[in-house]
Amino acid sequence: MANFERYRSLQAPVPEKTWAWNMVGAGVENIGRGGKPELETVLTPGPNQLLVRVDAVGMCFSDVKLIKQGRNHPKLYNRDLEKEPTRLGHEASLTVVQVGNALRDKFTPGQRLALQPDIYDALGRSTAYGYTIPGGLIQFHLIGPEVLAAGLDQQTSYVLTIEGDLGYAAAALTEPWACVEAAYTQRRRLEILKGGTMWILGHADDPTPYTFSAGLEKPALIVLSDVPPAIKVLVEAQARTRDVQVIERNGITPETMGELRELTHGAGFDDTIMLAPHSAAVVSAAAQLIARRGTFNMVGQEPLDTLCQIDVGRMHYDYTAYLGNPGPDIAASYGEARNRCELRKGGVAVFVGAGGPMGQMHVQRAIELPEGPSIVVATDVNSERLAVLKEQFTPLADNNGKKLVVFNPNASELTLLELVHSLTGNQGADDVVVSVPVAAVMADAATLMKPDGMLNFFAGVPNGTYAPLNMSFTYLHNAQFTGTSGSTLGDQQLVINKALTGKLSPNRSVAAVGGIEVAAEGAQAMMEGRYAGKIVIFPQLTNLPLMGLEELAEKYPEIGAAMGPEKIWTVEAERLLIETFWQG
C-alpha cells in the first residue's frame, strides 16, 4: 500500500497543470472541448483561499437539467458559458493541499473535506457548487469566500471536515445521502407566519362553532371571504386589540380568486384557511394562491366531491404545506405533533422508482432505520435494476428483521395497487415515496396510500405540474403530502456521523467507477441509467476506464476480492484502486 499511503499523506509534489472538464454550453458534447478535458494551470491560493485536491465525485441525475439547459439553468443566471464556463460535480470529496495565510487557523494541509453545494451568497441569492460555482470534475482547484465565507452573514462555511476512516467515495456521497435524509426532516412551515398574510374562506351559513386557540394574533393582513359570523367576530376582536388590516371580499368564485393575489403584492397568501370545504374545484383554485412556504389549512367533516388538482412541483420546491383537522379548533391543524415527516414505525412503505440511485438510498435507509417500516416495497419498471436491488438489499433486510418486496408492475399479473392491498389488508401503504419525476406516476402513487398515510414527492417536477390528489384525507384522516429539495449542512453532518458510527454505509450506493479521462462518459452513462447505483469519478486516477463493480472485479481480481458480499464497494477496495491507478 505504499502508493496509497503516499497519496493519502500528500507526499507527491503539486503538479503545475491540472485536467479539467469545463462545461462550455448545453449538451454532453459541451462537457470539455472536443470530448476531452482541458489542461489548466494549478494556481497558488490567495490569503482567503484553499488549494484542494478533488479525490472523488459522484455523478448526479440532477445535473441533467444543467446539461440540457446550459446557460438557461436557473442557477447560471443566463451566463455565457463559452466565455465563463462552469463544471459539473457537486458531490465532491476534497483534500486540502495548500492554505492561504488568513485561513491557517482553520485549515491544514491533508485535512479532508466534504462540501455542501447548496450555497447562498451575501445577497441571499441561491448559488451552488457544480452550477454557479464550478464544481469537482477537475483534479485541483481553488475555493475561497464563495464557499468558505458565504451566506447573508458572509461567515458561513459550506465545507465539513471528514474525520476517521471514511473512504473518498463515501465522503462524496454524503451529499446525495443528505438529500435523502432531508426528505424525512420537517421542511414545511407548520405555524402561522408572524406578520404574514392570511385568507379565511368558508360559507356564511356554516353553523359549526369554530374556535381559534392560537395563532390568530400573528397575521398583519387577514382577508375574509364568506366566513361564518362567529369567525368574523373572532377576527374583528383581534383587529381591535392590535394593528391588523382586515379586508372582506365576499362572493369569490374559482374564476375570480386570482384577483385576490394583488392584496399580497403578487406573492400569494402565507396562510390560507378553508372552512367546511366540499368543492374540489374551489380547493384547487384557492391552492394556487399559496405563497412559497405557505400553509393551506382545511377544517371540515365532509369529504370533497372529487379529487383536487394540486401543484406537486410546488410541494417539492416551494414546501407548500397542506394541513387540516375535523374541527372545531382551527389551530389544531398546526404544529409538528400532528404533522409527521418520518416513515411510520412498523408500517408498510412503498418506494416508487426504487431501482435508481436515489431510490436505492431510500430503500436502504428504510431497511436500516431502527424504528422504521416492517415491510419495504421497492418498485420499478426496470427489471435489471430491481435484480441488483434485490441481490444487494435482501440480506440487509433479513439482518434487520425487515421484509423486502421487490416488484415490477410490467412483469406481473398483479398491479402495484393490488400488491399493496394484499400486503395491507386493503388498507393501503403507510408511506409512499416517489423518486420518479413524472406527474402521472405521482398521481398513481397517491392511490397507494392509506387515508392517514404520508405521500413524499422526493423527485422534483417543475412548478406548475398538477396531479389529482384526494385532499379530503388531509383533514378527515391527517394524511401528509410533502416534498423536499436539496439538503443543508446539518443534514450532511448527520449523514457523516451515521457513516462514521456504522449506522449507514454510503458505499452501498456505488455502482461504477472511472478516472479523470472518462468523466464525460460518466455523465452520459448517468443520463442513460446504465448503472443501477451511483457512478463515482476519481479525478486523480488515470487510465481507469468506466466500469461497473462486477466488471472491475473480473478484470482486477485483487480489487474484487476486497469488495464486500454482492460486490459492494469498501474502503479496502478503494485503497487498492488508488494503489493500482494513481500515478502521482
CA atoms 162, 167, 169, 173: torsion sign:
negative
User: What is residue 123's predicted lDDT score, i.e. its pLDDT?
Assistant: 82
What's the half-sphere exposure (Cβ side, CA atoms, 13 Å) at 52? 26
Q: Within a domain: residue 467?
A: no
**CATH assignment of the domain containing 308:** 3.40.50.720
> In this structure, which long-range contacts are made by residues 31-39, counting pairs with CB atoms below 8 Å and at least 24 apart in sequence?
31/67, 31/88, 31/137, 31/519, 31/520, 31/523, 32/519, 32/520, 35/520, 37/516, 37/517, 37/519
What is the C-alpha separation between 309 and 317, in angstroms, rounded? 17
pLDDT in tens, the chain (584 residues): 688 999 999 988 999 999 999 999 999 999 999 889 999 999 999 999 999 999 999 999 889 889 999 999 989 999 999 999 999 999 999 999 999 999 999 999 999 999 999 998 888 888 999 999 999 999 999 999 999 999 888 899 999 999 888 999 999 999 999 999 999 999 999 999 999 999 999 999 999 999 999 999 999 999 999 999 999 999 988 888 888 999 999 999 999 999 999 999 999 999 999 999 999 999 999 999 999 999 999 999 999 999 999 999 999 999 999 999 999 999 999 999 999 999 999 999 999 999 999 999 999 999 999 999 999 999 999 999 999 999 999 999 999 999 999 999 999 999 999 999 999 999 999 999 999 999 999 999 999 999 999 999 999 888 999 999 999 999 999 999 999 888 999 999 999 999 999 899 999 999 999 999 999 999 999 999 999 899 999 999 999 999 999 999 999 999 999 998 888 999 999 999 999 999 97
User: What is residue 121's predicted lDDT score, i.e. its pLDDT?
Assistant: 86
DSSP-assigned letters across all residues of 375-405: EEEEE-S-HHHHHHHHHHHHHHHHHTT-EEE
Q: Say whether both 33 and 173 belong to one domain.
A: yes
Q: Say whether both 31 and 168 belong to one domain.
A: yes
pTM for this prediction: 0.93
| Residue 489 and residue 158 in contact, taking contact as beta carbons nearer than 8 Å | yes
Q: Say whether both 283 and 354 belong to one domain.
A: no
Q: Say whether both 286 and 402 belong to one domain.
A: no
| Residue 536 and residue 57 in contact, taking contact as beta carbons nearer than 8 Å | yes
Q: Say whether both 403 and 365 belong to one domain.
A: yes
State the residue range of the domain holding 107: 2-183+490-581
How many structural domains compose the chain? 3
What is the C-alpha separation between 407 and 232, in angstroms, rounded? 53
Q: Say whether both 411 and 529 belong to one domain.
A: no
H or E stretch covering 99: strand 91-99
Q: Within a domain: residue 254?
A: yes
Q: Which residues contact 451 (CB under 8 A, 6 or more apart)?
A: 428, 473, 476, 477, 479
**CATH assignment of the domain containing 113:** 3.90.180.10
Q: Say whether both 125 and 148 belong to one domain.
A: yes
| Residue 178 and residue 496 in contact, taking contact as beta carbons nearer than 8 Å | no
Last residue of a domain, one of 278, 298, 333: 333
| Residue 209 and residue 390 in contact, taking contact as beta carbons nearer than 8 Å | no
Q: Say whether both 319 and 427 belong to one domain.
A: no
Nearest CA to 324 out of 165, 472, 202 is that of: 472
Q: What are the Cα distances from residue 241, in Å, to 53, 75, 212, 216, 244?
A: 61, 45, 16, 12, 9
Q: Within a domain: residue 473?
A: no
Cell digits for 366? 428504510
Q: Within a domain: residue 468?
A: no
Q: Within a domain: residue 179?
A: yes
